[in-house]
Structure 1
Amino acid sequence: MSAETSAESHAYERQVDGFGSVSLVAVDPAGDLDLLHAWVTEERARFWGMGGYSREQVRETYGFLDSLTTHHAYLVHRDGEPVALFQTYEPDADPLGECYDVQPGDHGIHLLVGPTGTAEPGFTGALLSVLIGYVFGDPAHRRIVVEPDARNEKAVARVVRAGFELGPEIDKPEKRARLAFLSRAAAHR
């Protein structure tokens, strides 16, 4: 993989050998509403927790996230086509921070892979490698925190394959979650 200089409209872009160009573009809550609503309300996105949201509720949610300096939402594009929704956040500025002992340099992420039509081996792994590289591009970020729904066995197994170490299960208002952590050192092994 080789990094590229970010284009003006992209928060980050990287060329992945054999996979294509992966870029992060900040979510536009109004302009991206059709896509966001379609993705987060699908049955396959049930663990995202927005299944019953109206279009207005989705717009309000991403409008609120857009107003924060501690939380960010991006559409992940592969060769110019949106393929995932990626969110980052500072755990000490999030309700998650009340559920575990936040360490200096912790940075949280959420990933929702969009519908692809057909399974492509290595797809999510390639995306995760780019997203992990993006987060660790900031030297202040020393550990990535994820908290998938504890019932989402596929997501839990996926983060373990990406090198995350499983932590405890925690109770959040909306779900029972499984914490997992990836240190900078573990990511560079």
Structure 2
Amino acid sequence: MSIHPDHGHHAGHEADTTAAALIAEPPRADPAGDDTLDLRVDDLVALLTGGRPTPPATAPTSDSGDSRLDGDLLDSVASWAPADTRFGGFRLVPVRLGRDLPLLARWMNDPAVAAFWELAGPDTVTADHVRAQLEGDGRSVPCLGVLDSTPMSYFELYRADLDPLARAYPARPHDTGIHLLLGGVTDRGRGVGTALLRAVADLVLDHRPRCTRVVAEPDIRNTPSVSAFLSAGFRYAAEIDLPDKRAALMIRDRALRHVL
């Protein structure tokens, strides 16, 4: 999730020319059915108070020794299996600032990315944005997207149902939000964004059994991004007003993952 004083989210520059992101406001309608699911008591407390549910009794830790990098509230993103795409093998690697900051800051200063992420500037701007997640409670996990051993994209996976976003749309327990940016110009405009969106949504649904939906919110003006989400199996759920944009609420449903 994009970190701001109001804990809001930014759209990234996705979809073959741009990157994807999530936020939301109450959709006018969500025909996908019942928005109530079983909710553990600790998750309910977190949802109502903004606190942190009790993590699993045992959770793998990252090589840095900080279990937050493994995403306690996202079922240990660092342990997720790789995915195959038509562009090669893909995996998510939780960000380590000491290793990854120069690359991330360079991507954030690409004008095409900066137009949506609004994180251009010195390295400290990107560092503050990422550090807020790394030092948080594990509900948001920033990751490098690595394609055939090459870091080429940036993802943020987060618990949309435990985020202030949940006040802006009919969230379900364990809804998972994603943001994406493609770092290299050569990876834009040839279907890579669509392939990665589908791969990451599948990873979420494969490794988060209680998650029934993956959500995102590209700027409504960003037609290539909306198109990439649709091609990746998301449905257009609503047009929503956010503090900084008019957005398309995109949802990928577990029940429809093999149909769309």
| TM-score bracket, shorter-length normalisation | 0.7 to 0.9
Q: Distance in 1 between matches of 2:94 and 2:165?
A: 23
Question: Is there any run of 5+ residues in structure 2 with no aligned partner, and where?
Answer: 1-61, 64-77
**In 2, Cα distance between equivalents of 1:124 and 1:170:** 23
1:95 matches 2:164:
yes
Distance, in Å, in 1 between the alignment partners of 2:203 and 2:166 is 22
**In 2: Cα distance, 1:150 partner to 1:143 partner:** 20
Aligned residue runs from structure 1 range 1-189, under 5 A: 11-16=79-84, 18-68=86-136, 69-117=138-186, 121-137=190-206, 138-189=208-259
C-alpha distance in structure 2 between counterparts of 1:38 and 1:122, whole Å: 22
Residue pair 2:114, 2:120 contacting (<8 A) in 1 also: no
Larger Rg: 2
Q: Which amino acid aligns with 1:109?
A: I
Provide structure 1 residue ranges, at least 5 long, that are not aligned to the other structure.
Answer: 1-7
SS in 1 for 2:92: strand
Q: Is the 8 A contact 2:119 2:125 kept in 1?
A: no
Deviation at 1:131, TM superposition (A): 0.6
Question: Relative contact order, CA 8 A, sep 6+: which one is greater?
Answer: 2
Over residues 134-174 of structure 1, what are the superposed CA-to-partner deviations in whole Å (9 max), with x where a residue is unaligned?
A: 10021011001101112211101110111211122222223
CA RMSD of aligned residues (A): 2.1
- Distance in structure 1 (CA, Å) of the matches to 2:115 and 2:166: 20
What amino acid maps onto 2:257 in structure 1? A
More deviation in 171-180 or 105-114?
Answer: 171-180
1:87: Cα distance to partner?
Answer: 0.9
Give the aligned length. 182
Structure 1 residue 91, shift from structure 2 partner: 1.4
Contact 2:198 2:233 in 1 (8 A): no
TM-score after normalising by structure 1: 0.85
CA contact (8 A) 1:77 1:83 kept: yes
Residues 29 and 173 of structure 1: CA distance in aligned 2, closer, same or farther (over 3 Å): farther
How far apart are residue 15 of structure 1 and its match?
Answer: 4.9
**TM, length-normalised to structure 2:** 0.64
Please list the CA deviations of residues 57-115 of structure 1 after superposition, one character each: whole Å capped at 9, or x if unmatched. Answer: 21011011112211011101111101111111111332322221112231111111111
Kindly tell me: are residues 108 and 49 of structure 1, through their superposed partners in 2, closer, same or farther at Cα, counting changes over 3 Å? same
